[in-house]
Structure 1
Amino acid sequence: MRRALAVAAVLALAATGCGAGGQKQQASGPVELTIWHGQEDASAKSIEKLVARFNQSHPDIKVKTESGGVTADGMLPKITAALTSAAYPDIAYLYGSWAPNVARNPKTADLTELVKDPAVKWDDFWAGEREAVTINGKVIGFPAIVDNMVVLYNKKVLQKAGVKPPGPDWTWDDFRTMAKQATDAEAGVFGATWPISGGEEAVWGLWPMVWQAGGDILTPDHKKAVFNSEQGRQALDRLRAMAVDDKSLYLDSSPAEKGQKLFESGRLGMFLSGPWVLPDLQAAKVDYGVSPLPGTNGNHETISGPDNWVVFEHDQRRVKAAATFLTWLTAAEQQLVWMTDTGSLPIRESITQLPGYKDYLAKYHGIEVISGNLANAKRVRPPTTRYPRVSAFVAEAVAQTLLGKSDAKTALDEAAKKADAALAVPGS
């Protein structure tokens, strides 16, 4: 899954660099920029195509694309190492949850004034995206991707088990019941799956369950853990009952890759995921449906993980050129090309008004449900540099509980003690 976190690199990033050094300012000629995009397959081809179009239409700026030598999952440690020298890019694709750590590095550019340019149309980005790229009032880049979690269901698996597809008002109790009914141990079919790989993907689906019930991850000042509240315990208890009692959850340690393969092969009824898997499902010719997450008391809040194009400073001329390029790249017309190529969601509200938006919806079955589900993405994960460690502690609690090695309360209380200790460290 795309949410794996490099915890050690996160903690190291803030300490790298002691000034906005880098290469000398280019006095004349086109401004040369390097972007590490970390994309693969169709996404890599699309970004390279768009960059080529930009270079043709903007002779005063030349953008060079590189993968950075890693995928998006590995971009943070790559950037961490690069920022200790002058060999860092002007722009890099980084997960939004890394933003608090990235922002602390002195080589991270401050675009706060530049995004006020009317040409940027900053307010056209969804509020959650702007929040994810703004740390303590400092804008460190542009939104790159927005997603959200939904439930994908295999129509054939549910139909064979006599299970009706989820309705608009379904609940987590319905989810448990449907998963149990769809499970066929003799045939190797599971009702649903949950990652226990120890990464962010293990908690990615837990937070909406907590939020829906009125709970939270940390206190508002980010100094104490509150995920071990009654809401957190009930959420994890429900998953434990599915895994241990019902045996309807396939516990995926891959991380999250085996679950998708089971879904594609007709051995998994429901799969919590996002828009990034739709191209794979269509290529595998899976007969699937898409639904918002189950709700609690009518609240179907989901989780979103906006990612960012972060800008790093070599000199102000290059920073301004990077802002010009990202303004162009994130404009509605270019984004519709990217979305059509990759199946990504609209990062700007205005994209949905473009004539070609209907063709995009027609290309990716179910994408209209996921796009509409952005309205249920009401908050982001805590913007603290210690969040990766908090997440890792909770991920371990999830794994221990679902494997039947602990009860939910004990596991979450232990994770909360560790999280509180990490949050108490000065500078967190």
Structure 2
Amino acid sequence: MKRIIALVLAIVLCTAMFAGCQKAPAPAPAPSESGSSSAPPVEEKKPVELTVVTSYSADDGNRGNYENAYKAYEAASGNKVKDASGTSNEEWKAKIMADFETGAEPDILFYFSGVDANKLVESGKVVSIEEIRKVYPDYASNMKEEMMGKSPVDGKNYSVPVNGYWEGLFVNKKVLADCGVAVPGADYTWDQFMKDCKTIADKGYTPIACSLQEVPHYWFEFSTFNFGTVANHATLPTSSSDEAGKAWVSGLNDIKALYEAGFFPKNTTTAGDAETFQLMADNKAAFAIDGSWKIGWFQENAASVDDFTVTYVPAKNDRKATDMIGGLSMGYYITKKAWDDPAKQAACVDFVKAMTTDDVVSTFGATAVTALKNGTTAPANADSLVTAALAMTKGATGVAPAAQDLLNQAARNAMFADVKNVVTGKTTAEASIDATLAIKG
């Protein structure tokens, strides 16, 4: 009996031990390097506010496109954009530089490349694309490296371009028709232009909508281009008597001839750009030189965009009318201050990437010069003005960068402020240019 009881107890004991083995707890997770046995909780990403300064002010033709793009970024990211955009003029540039000097710079800046940004690069206030790619390798990967605008300071790229630009002759077809003047074509000469302006003036219209007080630089650019070539236009003179200097003198004197003939608005030396350019939309002026960004202005302000077209600026000497001014002069910078802020760094990178996708860039300037590897896509519902711009850029025989961009800001301010004095005879073109070149930035 004792043997039977012992056997039963042995069986029960083994059964219990077997059951215990089956229910043994899983081994504890291996401790982390810090010694903790559980992973730290994932910290929720908090929305941030980015201060962004651009030139897409209320009077810019791309303002609507800019707002749509940054609001789409806000919706997708949960972040907020504090927009501090202003009109791209010398006062705006000066304010931006002052903000950087006082530590009040934005997180992201849409600004000029080239000489204008030298101080920002020299002082280490903006981050190079090379440095950004060490952390975010695909940053600006949809752009052509050679077209992103290397800094003259160190040869590195700092800004990611959106819309390139071209400058051309906007034409009020309604005014020309009333004057019996043909719309200029690809072989339009300066002599023909002068004759047409006389006909238009005699009919009671203003031939050229322009403020020599505020924006004489478009006419300066092409007037000097008419005494050079695509190859040598972007050459900074050393004085008014060297080859480039003589071209600048001749160009300024051609603007003076236009003024003396009465082809500019009567208030051209005192009125602002908004007032004088409105003459185009009001069907009171025939011609205006401006950039690709102005297409949006006509689309918003003209009673009918079909009353306008854009074509080549009249040519003189060796320059063909189909030789244009254009390039990629502006782009998005990430400031060093924002880059060094852990809460903002990734948000800044994502913002610039969102603003420079192929689709967004195409909405800003389908007709413009572009750095996109895939090129821009023309809108399916392109109006007649956009179609004319596409035809013009396609027919260009050469594209030269703007010569004014070679000047430092102080010199450029002085020269363009002096244009009204040149045309009114208060100073000479030679004296104005020599004074400009004497200004060191």
The correspondence for 1:334, drawn from 343, 354, 360, is 360
Aligned to 2:265: 250
Please tell me whether residue 53 in structure 1 is matched to residue 72 in structure 2.
yes
Aligned to 2:198: 180
The correspondence for 1:190, drawn from 203, 206, 210, is 206
| d(CA) in 1 for partners of 2:153, 2:345 | 18
1:123-272 aligned at under 5 Å gives the runs 123-124=143-144, 127=147, 130-131=148-149, 135-184=153-202, 187=204, 189-197=205-213, 199=214, 201-214=215-228, 229-244=245-260, 246-250=261-265, 252=268, 253-272=270-289
Give, in angstroms, the shift of residue 248 of structure 1: 2.3
Contact in 1 for aligned 2:259/2:423 (Cα 8 Å): yes
Give, in angstroms, the shift of residue 168 of structure 1: 0.8
Contact in 1 for aligned 2:167/2:289 (Cα 8 Å): yes
Task: Mark the CA change 1:400 to 1:79 in structure 2 (over 3 Å): closer, same or farther.
Answer: closer
Task: Mark the CA change 1:267 to 1:361 in structure 2 (over 3 Å): closer, same or farther.
Answer: closer
| d(CA) in 1 for partners of 2:142, 2:369 | 14
Aligned AA for 1:421?
A: A
Aligned to 1:275: 292
Residue aligned with 1:136, SS = coil
Aligned to 2:329: 306
Give, in angstroms, the shift of residue 313 of structure 1: 1.0
| d(CA) in 2 for partners of 1:418, 1:85 | 30
| d(CA) in 2 for partners of 1:323, 1:233 | 45
Unaligned runs of 5+ in 1: 1-26
The number of aligned residues is: 378
Contact in 2 for aligned 1:169/1:298 (Cα 8 Å): no
Q: Give TM-score, length-normalised by structure 2.
A: 0.72
Contact in 2 for aligned 1:125/1:347 (Cα 8 Å): no
Aligned-residue Cα RMSD (Å) equals: 3.6
| d(CA) in 1 for partners of 2:371, 2:383 | 15
Contact in 2 for aligned 1:93/1:310 (Cα 8 Å): yes
Aligned to 1:88: 105
Q: Which has the larger radius of gyration?
A: 2
Give, in angstroms, the shift of residue 397 of structure 1: 4.2
Aligned AA for 1:293?
A: V
Please tell me whether residue 347 in structure 1 is matched to residue 362 in structure 2.
no
Give, in angstroms, the shift of residue 83 of structure 1: 2.5
| d(CA) in 2 for partners of 1:420, 1:147 | 26
Aligned to 1:422: 439
Unaligned runs of 5+ in 2: 1-42
Residue aligned with 2:403, SS = coil
| d(CA) in 1 for partners of 2:176, 2:51 | 48
Task: Mark the CA change 1:63 to 1:172 in structure 2 (over 3 Å): closer, same or farther.
Answer: farther
Give, in angstroms, the shift of residue 171 of structure 1: 1.5
Contact in 2 for aligned 1:203/1:394 (Cα 8 Å): no
Aligned AA for 2:355?
A: L
Contact in 1 for aligned 2:144/2:373 (Cα 8 Å): yes
Aligned AA for 1:175?
A: F
Give, in angstroms, the shift of residue 243 of structure 1: 2.0
